[in-house]
Chains A and B, each alone.
Chain A
């Protein structure tokens, strides 16, 4: 195929007549598509549905905790509600959301490829996700699970009479969807980069998705096998975790957290990649310390595998192992801090504009920093023993997983929405929603730090009356947060019809995805691009285009 050098500062092309969205209108053309962009849209619709389902359970939790006594539901129902909230949000929203939606859409576009390396496996991954999703919905409608999303033994293997095996199978199947996505990204990034796009010219979003894929491929099989072992012990009474049968109950926690702690990095790393893109574009600067930010993603992926037993400090592991894991947990703070400091340094003397995606990027930095620093507190054995299984832990991981991941995701959705749909979203409404999300989030989860520190345990449907004031604040915050999440859903759908036509590059952003039309044609680029420039070459963009325009 002929190769053409696309100038770095090419004028935006007009919207093409034929693009990936209108290239086939039948349901079949969507359900049997192998186009990575259409699969990303399928994922977008499905993860959004699961997000609102998980959010519905979150609202039930917050409503129950509005008052000290258990008056909305029974204790058993409450256990099932927080379990469904956790399973759906972790396995069916947070893990797939950024890689499967934004990653699927952008990885080939950002590296100048026509599609992912294995388009049919990509479609298969979506079908596996849907099968897992149907199964978990079936579990939800036919009795639910009450173990919490962690499926801890011996409760899950021995005592509970809820649908453990079915829920485990749903997670198992969804896990394979995640493995396939990771596999596809690794091969694609290794083999399908455009000529001239060397590793040190890759966008940081690609680096972070690459690191995420490593965790997906190396970690997910372990949790899959662990769930199988739970099912085997539950169904056939083989001694794996039960000491009476020769098993070890802590073995479950070791195996479970070997995956499930790195799973937090599956969630947060792609969002960190999004934030790097946003900061560079809206500060009109190359990301400070590009190589360190790129390699810190890989370092987080590797170190993330070395810290899992900090979830087990009170479970009865040896003190020596606890000390090792505590030290290693601190070490993950280093590459995370490299990112935060380098983003901040990128802002220095940048030409900053405050479009909605940038507001979300700022929100990410603030909330992730709080989530990360409280993580260091929890890595300290003494503090962890004090606050284990309290709302302090709940607040900490929501700051990382919701404050971090969702801020990055929403920032990315606003940033690439013009690329995905060819339309702009309404900026004023978007800014309002970013504000609502930030305020609502802090009002929901900051009181939980205090609640946990003064001793309110997690996973109870009742609590002593002295905790009520902070719980009321938290529930009030949750309703603001819900409004902040519903608003983008409404105006994004509105913009599909009424939004301003975006053009190829509404942000005057660097990056190959902006050098094709919006929405892109089915095979992304009319001619294979040849990359002759470094990533984030904003200094090569003419002065009149340096300040990112704010969408109206």
Chain B
């Protein structure tokens, strides 16, 4: 990495730790799938997936500590469009039983 890049960089050990953390969380997801928690199974799985995605976005994609405004705009618009996908799809699923 060149020195003039604007985002903060961490040591290799830090990224390795994050990587191991992601693998542990993956193992937790697999493990949790074998425990019958009823309606909480998908909630646990989605929670872990969200934590993993957050770690990837913040550290591997260098969003944490980025000084560039465009980076923030990209992240916000990404989540905004994800929210559109989820909310308008749910507008179908949640109202199918309405008569």
Output the least CB separation between B62 and chain A (Å). 15
Pairwise interchain contact A222-B85, C-beta atoms closer than 8 A: yes
A37-48: contact bitstring with B at CB < 8 Å (1 yes, 0 no)? 000000000000
CB contacts under 8 Å to A, within B85-99, are 85, 88-89, 91-93, 95-96, 98
Is A552 in contact with chain B by the CB < 8 A criterion? no
- How far, in angstroms, from A254 to B85 measured CA to CA in the complex? 8
- How far, in angstroms, from A109 to B25 measured CA to CA in the complex? 48
Query: Which residues of chain B have C-beta atoms less than 8 A from A318's C-beta?
Result: 91-93, 95-96, 98
Is A483 in contact with chain B by the CB < 8 A criterion? no
CB contacts under 8 Å to A, within B50-99, are 70, 77-78, 81, 84-85, 88-89, 91-93, 95-96, 98
- A320 to B, closest residue via Cβ: B95
Candidates A190, A214, A222, A321; contact of B92 at CB < 8 Å: A321
Output the least CB separation between A400 and chain B (Å). 22
- How far, in angstroms, from A324 to B87 measured CA to CA in the complex? 12
Total A-B Cβ pairs within 8 A: 44
- How far, in angstroms, from A248 to B92 measured CA to CA in the complex? 12
Pairwise interchain contact A254-B91, C-beta atoms closer than 8 A: no
Output the least CB separation between B83 and chain A (Å). 11
Query: Which residues of chain B have C-beta atoms less than 8 A from A320's C-beta?
Result: 91, 95, 98
- How far, in angstroms, from A187 to B70 measured CA to CA in the complex? 9
A242-259: contact bitstring with B at CB < 8 Å (1 yes, 0 no)? 000000101100110010
Pairwise interchain contact A254-B81, C-beta atoms closer than 8 A: no
Pairwise interchain contact A324-B91, C-beta atoms closer than 8 A: yes
Pairwise interchain contact B91-A321, C-beta atoms closer than 8 A: yes
- A324 to B, closest residue via Cβ: B91
Pairwise interchain contact A218-B70, C-beta atoms closer than 8 A: no
Pairwise interchain contact A258-B92, C-beta atoms closer than 8 A: no
Pairwise interchain contact B95-A190, C-beta atoms closer than 8 A: no
- How far, in angstroms, from A219 to B88 measured CA to CA in the complex? 15
Contacts A218-B77, A218-B78, A254-B92 known; 5 new A-B pairs at CB < 8 A: A187-B70, A190-B70, A248-B93, A305-B81, A320-B95
14 residue pairs of the A-B complex, CB under 8 angstroms, read: A187-B70, A190-B70, A219-B81, A222-B85, A248-B93, A255-B85, A258-B89, A309-B88, A309-B92, A317-B92, A318-B98, A319-B98, A320-B91, A325-B88
